[in-house]
Structure 1
Amino acid sequence: MASISGDDGADIDIVIPTRDRPAQLATTLEALRNQSCDRLRVIVVDDGGRTRAENLVPNQLRRSMPIRFIRNEESIGPGGSRNRGAEASGAPYIVFMDDDCIADRDLIARHRAALMAGGPTVSLGPILSPPGQRLPVWTHWDADRLGREYRRLATGESQPGWRHVYTGNVGLRRDDFVAVGGFDTRFARQEDVELGRRLARYGCRFTFDPAAIVWHDSDRTLRGWLRIPVYSAHFDVLMDQLVPDSRLWEVHDELTARHWALRATRPLVRMPLAQRTAVGAAVGAGCLLHAARLDRAALAAFSLVWDLTYNQALADATLPGVRQGSSL
């Protein structure tokens, strides 16, 4: 990847892909303008939006901080867009963020401190929902799952690793990113986790700072959320095809370690029609329970939705060792 150095003296570049989300992008940039550290630059990659991103950002905001805009005339996806941003970086360190993430004031300073400690390093921080909001139940399910994992990371119960690499909040050395080849654009989703896998194989250490926070105000729809477990299953299959030691036995172990009620339900809905019926019923029940403020039961219903959808997609993709009708 070629380096294009700027004249602003930045030692850390924040790369943000975007596409036709002016309000979210402006809020994201405003938070970066108010960081506690300096010597940073923002690289915004407009992924073929209807209107050029630089024309959507208020002039006052553009004048108050170093921002470089790059435009893809046609969409190349988030992975390809982040690669273009990294190619334009002249800084030794890169932080990847999404255009709907709001950085805590000390976010960049904390990533910089972790990366300057030396050696191949990937710096991770939590992606949290803004406090005080009543979220849709599927977004609440995501936030609850992530929140529990972040607590385990903060207490040392879990160790940070490649499966915790999310492009909403991750920092790394540009040289390490270049050395592993950047994002693999064959992955339409979970390209960040796949990158994390190659960074781990390269020898990077992973650090987690619970105070390196971004706030994620997700606007994901239920329909969009229901596609995620399908993408996750296809990701695991593609990883098996591309990575010789992708350790898919970990998928088997994770499935067999899930709650007994989930494991007991799977054999009852092996046929596709039964699976779709069960998923639809669980979605409806979860939404009603959430409306009634019975959040624990609502989250359990959406755990069932995720589990059944993922397992069906995994079986359809004929992952070796996990076939249609498997007892997983």
Structure 2
Amino acid sequence: MNSPRIRHNDYSVLSPPEIGDWQPYLPVSVVIAAYGHQDKLDLTLAALAAQTYPAHLLEVIVVDDGTDPPLTLGEIRPDNTRLLRTTPDSRGRSNARNAALEVAEGHVIHWLDADMVTHHDEVEAHMRWHHLADYLVVMGYVRYVDEEWPAPAEVHAAVSAGAGEKLFDLDASEPHQWIVNLGERTDGMRTAKNMAYRVHITNAASVNARLLRAAGPLSTELVLGEDTELGYRLAQHGAAFILEPGARSWHLGRSMMMRDREQVTRYNAVFVPDRVPHMRWQRTHPRRQYLVPYLDVTVEAAGATYEDIRATVDGVLASDLHDVRVTLTGPWASLAEDRRAPQHSPNLDLLLVHGLYRNEPRVRFVERTPRSAVPVPYRLLCPPGWVPRPDVLRRLLADAAEHGYGLVSIALDETDVVVTARLEHTGAFARARLLAAPGEALDDVVEEVAGTYWLDGATWGFQRAAEATATKPGTSPAGGRDRAETARLKADNERLALRVAQLTEELDRLRAERPPSSHVRRRRLFR
């Protein structure tokens, strides 16, 4: 598939066909993890049996996650429906979905909860986007109903007639208010940039299967919030995220978040931010380290002096950006130390570097530079002997995130050759690799999908190792006073932006708990 090049998350370059006025050809696997509630599962399958998407392109995989007595497939269901069961040692929602992913044959995986009643064209509304590009995640609109359920035959008849909206009382239902608010704030996710991953919620989302398998399955270590974490990893593999109002479903009953918002939020705030560095409002401790850092600084150690490598690494570790990791590349596995005269050992500089940092948990040693820093969202490739002042990395990442740059090139020295450091956005480079034509320069594609930028290293606070050593702690080099004041003001702005993000999240929660104010408003949100 020759996919169009989406810049950031602005999918306006895609023009999906009108529902009912096109010819699909891609197969889709609908994956349903179920535990209990046979009555709701029967309604979910009955609605799927009435989809407008061609039956020969639709498979449904139901995974029973340990129900006793076991679940069965209702009489009204799509033709190509199968039932799997988890084992006692592989229970949990993520395990169930991963089991289905292993056997799914579709070009697209459509997550669906076992208590959803889809409208007749729900699958088609998703799939019309996936026919346009092969790196998409699509999220539908859900309304929550808490009333007596109709019979499976009644659901199938209504959905078959294109009258799924008449199955339940729209005025008495609730929208997924958080998704609605997110869509309204970001023009349907088009302006969401790095935060677009948050729209991935596995009750009604679809994902390109190849992209999903590249990003890895759902995390079985997370009991809640696993869909958000997977959405983040999909973003680091180049995904673009689409919010599709035409993909409509009813949710039978209120969600866990609606029933127990405070405790679910409290739980997720502990486990999810450890794996999602973009959740900056949750990573507020000035010295904490996390499972997935925000920045990886990669330094090519081979051929450099111990002093230059140490100056660079120590400068990075002294940064006021706390969630940072250093990757040192070199022939570490083949290092040999002279046991009688170690000062004359071959590769002495590398031995000294390894000895200095081998017990530093923020430093890792690899043989060669990895192609990608995934799942870390940013990587700085920094030549040894160049030292960022303590505030540089934080300011650099804040600037890159604000503008959405896929690549920031930092000019360090321009005497004989241009010496540069490179700040790479992992998701932008992943998307560029998906889209680059044979022989096309990757940086050129990054410019198209995210933008590139050059800046002056000295102005931003990169120093040579000798200059950094000569600068006493607490002082600034010539011209540093203005830069320090600028850095202070930017830090203040960042703190204010963080507070705004926190207040916005809180406002969303309050709005979600309050019923819509008018009949007209409710219908507009679910048109």
Q: Residues 208 and 294 from structure 1, CA distance in 2 versus in 1: closer, same or farther, beyond 3 angstroms?
A: closer
TM-score normalised to the size of structure 2? Answer: 0.43
Q: Does the 8 Å CA contact 2:26/2:131 hold for their aligned counterparts?
A: no
1:40 to 42, 48, 58: 58
Paired residue type of 1:79: S
The root-mean-square deviation of aligned C-alpha atoms, in Å, is 3.5
- The letter for the 2-side match of 1:233 is A
1:72 aligns with 2:86: yes
Native 8 Å contact 1:121 1:173 kept in 2: yes
Pick from 121, 126, 136: which aligns with 1:106? Answer: 121
| Structure-2 residue corresponding to 1:52 | 70
2:366 corresponds to which residue? none
Q: How many residues align?
A: 253
Structure 2 counterpart SS, 1:168: coil
Counterpart AA for 2:127: R
Partner of 1:61: 76
Q: CA deviation at 1:18?
A: 0.4
Map of 2:417 onto structure 1: none
Alignment of 1:75-94 (within 5 A): 76-94=91-109
Distance change in 2, residues 1:158/1:213 (3 Å): farther
Whole-angstrom distance in 2 between the partners of 1:111 and 1:19: 25
Structure 2 CA distance for aligned equivalents of residues 220 and 92 of structure 1: 29
Tell me the CA shift for residue 147 of structure 1.
2.7
Alignment correspondent of 2:244:
209
Range with greater deviation from structure 2 (146-155 or 94-103): 146-155
1:202 Cα deviation after fit: 0.6
SS in 2 for 1:30: helix
Tell me the secondary structure at the aligned position of residue 40 of structure 2.
Answer: helix
What is the distance in 1 between the residues matched to 2:121 and 2:143? 15
Partner of 2:234: 199
Q: How does 1:22-33 map to 2 (within 5 A)?
A: 22-33=38-49
Query: Structure with the greater relative contact order (CA < 8 A, sep ≥ 6): 1 or 2?
Result: 1
From the two aligned structures, give the one with the greater strand fraction: 2
Which residue identity is paired with 1:14? V
Please give the alpha-carbon distance, in whole angstroms, between the structure 2 residues aligned to 1:166 and 1:156: 14
1:291-302 equivalent positions in 2, closer than 5 A: none
Per-residue CA distance 1:118-147 (angstroms, 9 max, x = gap): 231112222223453546xxxx5x733333
| Aligned-residue identity in percent | 23
Q: How far apart, CA to CA, are the structure 2 residues paired with 1:45 and 1:10?
A: 23
Change (3 A) 1:203 1:237: closer
Please say if residues 126 and 150 of structure 1, whose CA atoms lie closer than 8 Å, have aligned partners that are also in contact. no
User: CA separation in 2, counterparts of 1:107 and 1:223?
Assistant: 26
Secondary structure at the residue paired with 1:36? coil
Partner residue in 2 for 1:276: none
- Residues 158 and 25 of structure 1: CA distance in aligned 2, closer, same or farther (over 3 Å): farther
How far does residue 224 in structure 1 lie from its aligned partner after superposition?
3.5
Query: Could you tell me how far apart the structure 2 residues matched to 1:144 and 1:238 are?
Result: 26
Q: Is the 8 A contact 1:162 1:199 kept in 2?
A: yes
Deviates more, 1:117-126 or 1:91-100: 117-126
Which secondary structure does the structure 2 equivalent of 1:24 belong to? Answer: helix
5+ long unaligned stretches in structure 2 = 1-24, 146-168, 278-289, 295-375, 378-393, 402-493, 519-527
